[in-house]
Structure 1
Amino acid sequence: MSGGPEAARPRAALFELDEIETLARQAGAALHCRSVCEITTGGAAYPVYALTLGNPAPECAAVGFFGGVHGLEHIGAQVVLACLRSIVARLAWDDSLHHLLEHLRLVFMPVVNPGGMLRRTRANPRGVDLMRNAPVEAATGAAFMLGGQRLSATLPWYRGVAGQPMEAEAQALCEVVTAELLPHRLAISVDCHSGFGLSDRLWFPYAHTARPIAQLPELQAFKALLDATLLHHRYVFEPQSRQYLTHGDLWDHLHQVSLAAGDRVFLPLTLEMGSWLWVKKNPRQLFTRHGIFNPLIAHRQQRVLRRHMGLLDFVMRAAMSHARWLPAPAEREALQRQALAHWYGPRAW
């Protein structure tokens, strides 16, 4: 495990970082853990870790799991860590896991925003919302404030200063995706969040426009595979633009970067866990800033972790087996028509 310089003072406890370091030690040489940047807050430095394992060959597929982009949403980091914890435990005995890792690259960034998680804020310590920070502009119709604002870092959904580089955490995520996911024939990312509605959603780009993305046929094929495999699942699978438009979405930006390699397929997904359901079951959470976005009762948290492990396992297996379901060129037009009818209605593009 590699990292940066020593912190100026001992860092405050952050359970998720401690667990990453413990898992890296347990896995040994099978798992590479590195600090891709350090964030200083309260006089101490906190690493942003990226962990990788499996086959790095470009002809293999790659999957990335991301969490903790918003500091209030600890449950997203915990879902990613639960997946990593299961993989590390299985390294010692599971032949099927080793077979999967021979044909798949795995990337984990469980805590993208350690400063925000420590401070219990959505934004990073500089007050910037990392999911409004990319150089992507919504042409028209971005949600007021929610879609990103440049008025003040003291207000939510602050985008940062126009024309300035992205925040260090956002740049680190983009660098990891560009280096570890985009070179592969197929790459899928799952960014774990909470805080929208009563249903669990799987969002895909775009967030800045209602226009469909280039890989719509591949997403339609993936959705059909998901529906046929995870029977009676509870995920609403849709473009984020069906709910609201935003500026600065990191996954919109990275999808646009991926288009430069025309023979590659990159499918960025956001798991948006419906935290309003937790509030409905436990209204006292309304009186705690941290609790609104996380299941506070232990058995509910355990249920959330169990529920999404099946999805993350499905994503890994689907990526490894991409040759069996990715549409051939002759199939793409029919899948495009199906997807447009399902998600975009009669509008012609």
Structure 2
Amino acid sequence: MKQVPALAEYKVLERLLDEGSPDLRCQHLCDVHLGDQCLPIQAYCIGNPDPAVPAVGFFGGVHGLERIGAELVTAFLASLVSRLRWDSSLHHMLDSLRVVFIPLVNPGGLALGTRANPRGVDLMRNAPVDAGAAAPPLLGGQRISPKLPWYRGAADAPMEVESQALVDFVEREMLCHAHSISVDCHSGFGLADRIWFPFAHTAKPIEHLAEMHALCQILDQTHAQHRYVFEPQSRQYLTHGDLWDHLYRQASARGNCMLLPLTLEMGSWIWVKKNPRQLFSRRGIFNPLIEHRQQRVLRRHMAWLDFVMRAAAGMQRWLPSQAQRAWHEERALNRWYRHGVLAA
């Protein structure tokens, strides 16, 4: 295996842990071995661990090539750590909220500059969820070979260590809370910034469609000028093995918790259009390469992450009552699903 550089992100996270102590705590989840390197997957936790309060989680680096996702999550964590010294309102919020981070879900992929992990498995096609024949060939997940993109892993194999670490952590640290929201940060080769929610494996609506519409509504009302396309992933394409579909179904099966999983897909064509030379760089297709543009991207999307954290803290104020659920469901169906026949 070729020599790969050490990840500078670890030094940044080590510094943030030191600056955020004792409020910020670190959990070691597992190790990924890459040549002679041992790359830890670590989670960072802050706020009230009481299951009675809501939880919110931020995740990045699931696809190693999409480095901007890990950088965004790390930048948001750094912002919170810096505010711990002076922001009394943040401390008040953290009394009633649990906040967790895994900035580097796929450190091996980040080190190699690949979408997949070092074993060639796409972690977002790796969960035990099947979409059926409606998923597009290859893109929806394939078991032909790890040398081709979107490889799911062998049919009889357990999940990859990175996938399992993420699933175990969310089940342990978030699904013990009655209400939680997650944001998984990616970049996608598109013209718009998108916020996706489950399902990815079917076009059928999720059980908590009313709650998801209520969240979208307060985003539209609070940030009226936002340019996010908020929609179920199934409106774009179906995939096998989506980790957040799997975790949403795990949460729903418990019956005593509600997880609202969101995926931020930053539209990388916006950056490429302004700097077409990025097309000739594998990294440039998915990440802003010019410093001032990267800073602009981080500023824009950190506002979205801050909104999600505040929405999680104030869930009881905007979650629809039983009497309001039918109203939200009807509008959600009209907005997202009645463009075509619901598919299995």
TM-score range (shorter-chain normalised) is over 0.9
Which residue among 100, 106, 123 is the counterpart of 1:130?
123
Structure 2: distance between partners of 1:204 and 1:240: 6
User: 1:282-335: CA deviations, max 9, x gaps?
Assistant: 111111111110000001000000001111111111111111110111111121
Structure 2: distance between partners of 1:233 and 1:267: 20
**Structure 1 residue aligned with 2:160:** 167
Q: Is the 8 A contact 2:29 2:40 kept in 1?
A: yes
**Structure 2 residue aligned with 1:317:** 310
**Structure 1 residue aligned with 2:297:** 304
Q: Structure 1 residue runs of 4+, over 3 Å off? A: 346-349
Could you tell me how far 1:84 is from its partner in structure 2?
A: 0.3
Q: Is the 8 A contact 2:191 2:270 kept in 1?
A: yes
Structure 1: distance between partners of 2:264 and 2:4: 30
Which residue among 229, 251, 260 is the counterpart of 1:258?
251
Q: Is the 8 A contact 2:62 2:104 kept in 1?
A: yes
Which amino acid is 1:122 matched to?
R
**Structure 2 residue aligned with 1:281:** 274
User: 1:70-97: CA deviations, max 9, x gaps?
Assistant: 0001100011011100011011111000
Q: Is the 8 A contact 2:4 2:111 kept in 1?
A: no
Which residue among 136, 139, 145 is the counterpart of 1:146?
139
SS of structure 1 residue aligned to 2:43:
strand
**Structure 2 residue aligned with 1:23:** 16
SS of structure 2 residue aligned to 1:45:
strand
Which amino acid is 1:285 matched to?
Q
Instruction: Give me the CA root mean square deviation.
Output: 1.3
Structure 2: distance between partners of 1:296 and 1:310: 21
Q: Is the 8 A contact 1:148 1:248 kept in 2?
A: yes
Structure 2: distance between partners of 1:232 and 1:196: 23
Could you tell me how far 1:260 is from its partner in structure 2?
A: 1.8
Q: TM-score, normalised by structure 2?
A: 0.97
Mapping for residues 37-52 of structure 1, pairs under 5 Å? 37-52=30-45
Which residue among 45, 54, 61 is the counterpart of 2:47?
54
**Structure 2 residue aligned with 1:3:** none
Could you tell me how far 1:171 is from its partner in structure 2?
A: 0.4
Mapping for residues 33-112 of structure 1, pairs under 5 Å? 33-112=26-105
Identity fraction in percent: 60
Q: Is the 8 A contact 2:251 2:259 kept in 1?
A: yes
**Structure 2 residue aligned with 1:158:** 151
Structure 2: distance between partners of 1:66 and 1:278: 22
Q: Which runs of 5+ in 1 are unaligned?
A: 1-9
Could you tell me how far 1:26 is from its partner in structure 2?
A: 1.2
1:32 aligns with 2:4: no
Structure 2: distance between partners of 1:94 and 1:253: 36
1:327 aligns with 2:327: no
Structure 1: distance between partners of 2:236 and 2:76: 28
SS of structure 2 residue aligned to 1:292:
coil
SS of structure 2 residue aligned to 1:302:
helix
1:177 aligns with 2:170: yes
Which residue among 223, 227, 232 is the counterpart of 1:230?
223
**Structure 2 residue aligned with 1:7:** none
**Structure 2 residue aligned with 1:4:** none
Structure 2: distance between partners of 1:132 and 1:67: 16
Structure 1: distance between partners of 2:190 and 2:284: 15
Q: Is the 8 A contact 1:11 1:46 kept in 2?
A: no
Which residue among 181, 185, 189 is the counterpart of 1:196?
189
Structure 2: distance between partners of 1:180 and 1:11: 32
**Structure 2 residue aligned with 1:340:** 333
Q: Is the 8 A contact 2:203 2:342 kept in 1?
A: no
Q: Is the 8 A contact 2:33 2:39 kept in 1?
A: yes
